[in-house]
Chains A and B, each alone.
Chain A
């Protein structure tokens, strides 16, 4: 079965750039999706089709996907960005989630 691997945790200082990676076999040939889940809340779509932002998602959120790795980048990270982030892809019509990355804004 297809697997997506994320680092368990990433730390960033306020105002700096945070990068969260998601690795999977030939992931660059698929679309990558990213979800933000703040503590006690439902997940929210943050990036779709590798690099598109839904309405309401700040411009500081961006994404890329190439080779075996998709990356979520948060520029000028704010305290409100502290959350769990999950990548997701489709494989043979099945939904696959990464294990999640806890972003801490120190």
Chain B
């Protein structure tokens, strides 16, 4: 059974870079697409982007200029980097698996990690 676990700093200063890692267990990271989804406190879900181990990526157009997702197959992990963060980037960040390729279902989610942007 697939399990996902987010890790990274819970506090990031404005204008700095948010960096998170998702550790995947139970399946090979090379077999699926992997996504990041965030949720500001008390608000709805916002898709951030996804990546495939062969380098295919796609990002939310509203974040595209600041976001990068990369996969490390040797560690079965993938990462999120969001540059020049502002207070509006404060959210719970979830990593999640996309099953069935592009247009598939998001069938497994991590527990989420709260990242606060504040000085």
Chain A residues in the interface with B (C-beta under 8 A): 1, 31, 33, 35, 37, 42-45, 48-49, 54, 84, 86, 88, 90, 93-100
Chain A residues, CB < 8 A from B46: 97
Chain B residues in the interface with A (C-beta under 8 A): 35, 37, 44-47, 50, 58, 60-61, 94, 102-103, 105-107, 109-112
The A interface, classified by DSSP as helix, strand, loop or mixed, is strand
B44 touches A88 (CB 8 A): no
Q: With contacts A43-B109, A45-B107, A54-B107 known, is A90 near B102, CB below 8 A?
A: yes
Instruction: Give the distance to chain A from B57, nearest Cβ to Cβ, in Å.
Output: 11
Q: With contacts A45-B107, A88-B106, A94-B60 known, is A99 near B94, CB below 8 A?
A: no
B58 touches A42 (CB 8 A): no
Q: With contacts A31-B103, A54-B107 known, is A95 near B61, CB below 8 A?
A: no
Instruction: Give the distance to chain A from B72, nearest Cβ to Cβ, in Å.
Output: 22
A97 touches B105 (CB 8 A): no
> Contacting B58 at CB < 8 Å: which of A35, A54, A94, A99?
A94
